[in-house]
Amino acid sequence: MQVIEHPVEKLHSALRSTRKELIEMYEKYSKEEKSFLEGCLIPGDSLFGPITIHSDSDWIPSHPEAPQDFLSFYSNPYRSTPNNDHKTIYIQTIGSFGEGAGITEQYVEWLREYCQAFYYGLVVKLLPPVTVASTNCTFRVNSNSYNLQLHAGELLSFLKKKKPKDAFCIVGITMIDLYPRESWNFVFGQASLTEGVGVFSFARYDDDFYKRSYAGRLKKAVRLEPGNYALFQGYYTPPITSKLLLRSCKTLTHEIGHIFGVQHCQWLQCVMQGSNHLEESDRRPMDVCPICLRKLQSAIGFKIADRYKALLCWIETEGGASVPHSGKPTQSFQDFRQWLCKCLNILQDEMF
């Protein structure tokens, strides 16, 4: 296992920048926020540890790229920033999400509320669900897993046409596996920064997906005909578990982060780290590191403590706005809950 540790001075430079106007922007943080951000850069801090590489198949060894500091983020002419006319994140479900509309409504509402807490200060809305047939996208059977897959690029084109005028972005979510091109085995998701669209699949977050007994596998002999979307009617969807909800929340917020212009993080443990496989994705924490937090805060304008409180409230509140009497499966979020409490305790201690 390789541990990536940056000198504190380099982390401070990545956070604060070396440009005068960006340093002046940083000085607008409250004393408590600056103390929190800078204190979390100290090596060995339990809140934000160093990134670990477990194998050559992990993201960083297989996708070498320069780390993105705050200056690189802020100077990117293609990054997207919400404004008063475009401050809504729209979520579009594609295909079935569970056995019955009630389950789908419940699960997607939890995702919506989590996303709204994560991107505190923006509005997140659900669009009416659509069938796979309505997207008119290409599909195939994966030659390795024998699962149905949808073409991610064509779904992006479909979503671009549906993007509301007041949208900061529109993201499609599906329980059906995705592929970006014929030569690729699969892709967890795909997004376009310049177009403000993204599409993500949660199919591989089911613990049974890689088992030969997975209920979504088709027989090798299945013959596909273009436009035969009947295959997707009643197509298998995994049970909604706490682990699936956690993985879905993590993926959704990670991919929307790219639409803001935040690249894969290489500074500290962060939800914006890249991942090539499920095991690496599970190693990522739920939230952003201090450097990526500043990137989001500069784009949205939230108070750090308010954002942490909103995320904590999401974990501790049963049900959701439209389904208040249902039990939200947050067992897998308890480590994140304790982490948020530590962050808030540090911020509050700095105030007194």
The pLDDT of residue 35 is above 60: yes
DSSP element (H, E) containing 26? helix 20-26
Residues 205-233 have pLDDT tens digits of 888 888 877 777 776 556 677 777 888 88
> Could you tell me what percent of the chain has a pLDDT over 70?
92
Looking at residue 350, its pLDDT comes to 54
Q: Tell me the average pLDDT across 192-200.
A: 91
Domains, in order of start, for the chain: 2-74+267-351 (no CATH), 88-250 (3.40.390)
Residues with a known catalytic role? 255
Residues 122-136 have pLDDT tens digits of 999 999 999 999 999
Q: Tell me the average pLDDT across 167-196.
A: 91
Tokens coding 190: 């795909």
Between CA 341 and CA 172 the distance in angstroms is 32
Q: Tell me the average pLDDT across 4-15.
A: 93
What's the pLDDT band for 324 if we cut at 50, 70, 90? very low
> Which of residues 294 and 232 earns the better pLDDT score?
294
Give residues with Cβ within 8 angstroms of 174, minimum separation 6. Answer: 93, 94, 95, 150, 155, 199, 200, 201, 202, 203
Q: What is the pTM of this model?
A: 0.92
Looking at residue 320, its pLDDT comes to 47
